[in-house]
Chains A and B, each alone.
Chain A
Amino acid sequence: MAFYTGRSGSLVYANKPVAKIRDWSLDTTVELLSTNTIDSAVNTFTPGTKGATGSATLMYYRLQSGEAASFTQFTALLARIMKGGAITEADRVFLELNVGGGGSDDIKFYAYITNAQVSVSTGELSVVPIQFTMDGDFSEVIA
């Protein structure tokens, strides 16, 4: 397959795709450290730390009978931030972002859910947009 659409995309958590997601995105950045000297006329840099942040829009969808074997409900991710008590390292999640079904179209990493919004609006499907930040390095990237 040459082109990809959202139709083949998924967000996998706990070894199963999260049921009914609208979108996901991932930004990878690298910090640049200036190596300018006093006589520099142009900027020069050396790379610093790398990091990634992302977001996904989960649909507020309750799994129907028989779906639990194939899908993860959105509450599994939401519970990593929206819960009583402290957020700890145990709330770190392992995410797999798929562009397509092939093994080379996956992005895998550990992350913390840093933001979750529960959005309810008249005439609209209820959604749960989340944001996450990668912790550590990529386990797998698109090749």
Chain B
Amino acid sequence: MAFPDIKPASREYSSGDWPIKRFDSQSGAEVRILYGSRRVGAKLVLGYVNIADSSAQSFLTDYNSQYGTLRTFTLPASVFAGWSGSRGNIDAPPGTLWRYESEPRVQSVYRGLSNVQVTLVAVA
């Protein structure tokens, strides 16, 4: 099953970082060592507001099909709707894919309508 093809009402992206180890020397200088070639840990928080329960259910179904936080996947273009910049800048960094960081949160707000919040993290 693919990630639900639904446009979010809100989207929050954070870039993550490269695998870096930091050391503080006796002189007070900070030494940083790069351990990898891929930026990891990018995070995407998607908010869906007042969507039909059937659409909210599709997030739960996909979460089950991905075995929760186990499997990785790509995202449909609808997730990046409204972004006028380059999609690559807010998608999973090169060499990484998205997985669920935690279970989707579904909040029933009215009969037949729900709010959903999904948090994804990019991993190699």
Which residues of B are at the interface with A, using a C-beta cutoff of 8 A? 7-11, 49-51, 81-82, 109-110, 113
The chain B residue with its CB closest to the CB of A31 is B110
Say yes or no: B10 contacts A38, CB within 8 Å: yes
A side interface size, CB within 8 A: 11
Q: Please indicate the chain B residues that have their CB under 8 angstroms from the CB of A33 in the complex.
A: 50, 109-110, 113
Q: Please indicate the chain B residues that have their CB under 8 angstroms from the CB of A40 in the complex.
A: 82
Does chain B have a CB within 8 A of A48?
Answer: yes
Min CB–CB distance B3 → chain A (angstroms): 16
Say yes or no: B7 contacts A48, CB within 8 Å: no
Say yes or no: B50 contacts A46, CB within 8 Å: yes
Say yes or no: A39 contacts B50, CB within 8 Å: no
Say yes or no: A38 contacts B110, CB within 8 Å: no
Of A34, A38, A46, A49, the residue contacting B7 (CB under 8 A) is A38
Does chain B have a CB within 8 A of A8?
Answer: no
Q: Please indicate the chain A residues that have their CB under 8 angstroms from the CB of B49 in the complex.
A: 34-36
CB 8 Å contact bits of A45-62 with B (1 = contact, 0 = none): 010110000000000000
Say yes or no: A37 contacts B110, CB within 8 Å: no
Min CB–CB distance B18 → chain A (angstroms): 28
The chain A residue with its CB closest to the CB of B46 is A38
* 6 A–B contacts from the bound complex (CB under 8 Å): A33-B113, A34-B49, A35-B50, A38-B8, A38-B10, A39-B82
CA of A25 to CA of B33, assembled, Å: 75
Min CB–CB distance A34 → chain B (angstroms): 6
Say yes or no: B110 contacts A39, CB within 8 Å: no
Say yes or no: A36 contacts B113, CB within 8 Å: no
CA of A46 to CA of B113, assembled, Å: 10
Q: Please indicate the chain A residues that have their CB under 8 angstroms from the CB of B11 in the complex.
A: 38
